[in-house]
Structure 1
Amino acid sequence: MPKVRRRTYRTSYRRRRPQATIASHVNLSIVLLASLAIAIGLISIIMSMSHTKSDTSGPYNLAGAPSINANFIDQVLEHYDSPAKGKGQVLYDDGVKYGIDPAYALAFFMQESRMGTQGVASVTHSLGNIRATTGYANYHGYRQYANWEEGFEDWYKLISQQYIRDWGLHTVDQIIPVYAPNEDNNNEQQYISAIKYMVDRWRSGDIQIS
């Protein structure tokens, strides 16, 4: 009887893959959430840095220390042949007194009357063509002053006490819609852009506003 070989079978032992547990899912979720939070934080920091670099002038808050000096103000007034030329120190000192950056006063003066050379300001001595109210001399509906010194100080007082202190309006974007609203035949956005542009130019040392 022939010998019968026993068949040998190759068998491979496969390890069972460990099944995921609830704990491992929880840990993975925590890691993913933490990574997402870090990523969002980094993006926020980058965007904040980018915004700071592109908007070096800040939020255009009128309240603050002077960003231009009296001599520079005199140069601007002289350049535009303003009837108020030579009074840069007065405009500067009033800004310090009322806590308003005089660069904004100069910008309003330019926007309203091209430094007192146009419109009723040449008669009223008004920096900002303020509407007449009780207690003020009236010229065609605008406050009239005896001289530029009075006109300068009244504008600073109006902005400091009424707009900022009483109404809580601090920035150019907040003040202009009340100071020169569209319904009074003004263009608010154009006015806002003009003020910001002039302040930026003067802060950079340019006298000429194109």
Structure 2
Amino acid sequence: MKPILLALAPMAIAAGTALPLAVPAIAAPASDELKAVQDHLAKVNTMTADFTQTDRAGKVLTGKLTLEKPGKIRFQYEKGVPILVVGDGRSLYFIDYSVKQVSRWPVKDSPLSILLDPNRDASKYAKIVPSADPRILSVEAYDPKHPEYGRITLIFARQASAPGGLMLQGWVAVDSQNNRTTVRLNDQKFNVKIPNNSFRFNDPRK
């Protein structure tokens, strides 16, 4: 299994349950909410968080997320999971140490590029998803010209102390075969110093 790959590239993977979404009775204009998301994204240069992922069978994997713009990200899984996902600013790599396999694809082909590319205009490919809870803001990113990239719905909680007043809680990603995976974040820290070697990896093919 490739646990986090669905959130990063157009490939099928077993999935968990999506976060609940519904239509509110009263809501702020979607354009204002999308601007709030863009403001948050513009104010975040780095982020670290603990992540939890649950697949369709109920299996839970945990790990540490490290992000640095532009294009750098690392999903370090818990001890005993021989998988690593890392982006070096240009490409994303999926490494399976159990079979000494490395897969590579451009950062721009990932739904998570909304988090990784500070130059992308979210208003051109993202929309607000109505929520029944006014404390929650959800935004779906999707490129209709490239449905093979899949789509991602980012879930934010309104929190005054977070950048732009929003705290990223996680996301739900769906690939072109309608497979779904859910990632939840905890202990988020923004704009912290990231060690220079955070986005390197040992190539098992060497």
Q: Give 1 or 2: higher strand fraction.
A: 2
Q: Which has the larger radius of gyration?
A: 1
| Higher relative contact order (CA closer than 8 Å, sequence separation 6+) | 2
- Compute the TM-score of the two structures, normalised by the length of structure 1: 0.25
Q: TM-score, normalised by structure 2?
A: 0.26
